[in-house]
A = this chain, B = another copy of it.
């Protein structure tokens, strides 16, 4: 993702990512700032922004995620307005990204940390809320509740296929999972098209 290639650039990038991991771990996703990450890495905030972009992208790079889930969601929503196609594209993109062994290692590390350390759970919560929920609301007209349920379906698939590895889901071909699971994601997307976008506060009960 580095746009500049100059001597020492890769060392600087690594220093920024190490600082980012510490800041996200300490302050959570919401509490961490580009300014704070830059200060800890001993560089100018403009350089952090130049290398990585916004906070979301820094998190993705720092956690070695194979892609930005918010960006994936945006592109899935933008490619077509057909909810069935959106559902299929979201599942296929997810499987293609996570099937790579190096992605899987990064995901397992993140999940392990998130479920064993309360601070890491706070960090992941902030990221999902910001990158996934807000993005789905903005780009797809999906309510925050629906965006959360969509995330539930995708995270559940990741856990069953890669973490617990329950058959036949663990070894099934992408095409089969897409064909069998897409109607379920479509059901969440479809009823969300009614324009009923409500704030999180409404749902607190």
Contacts and interface: CB of A to CB of B under 8 A. Distances in A.
A37 interface: no
Nearest to A165: B125
A173 to B, nearest CB: 3
Given A187-B183, A187-B187, A188-B183, A159 B149 contact: no
A25 B191 CA distance: 43
Contacts of A181: 149, 152, 188
User: Which among A154, A184, A185, A203 has the greatest number of chain B C-beta atoms within 10 A?
Assistant: A184
Contacts of A72: none
Interface in A170-205: 171-173, 175-177, 180-181, 183-188, 190-191, 200, 202-205
13 contacts: A112-B116, A115-B115, A121-B163, A129-B166, A145-B168, A149-B180, A152-B159, A153-B184, A159-B159, A167-B203, A171-B203, A184-B185, A184-B188
Given A115-B116, A125-B165, 14 more contacts: A114-B163, A145-B172, A146-B180, A149-B181, A152-B156, A152-B157, A153-B156, A156-B156, A167-B200, A167-B204, A176-B203, A183-B188, A183-B190, A184-B184
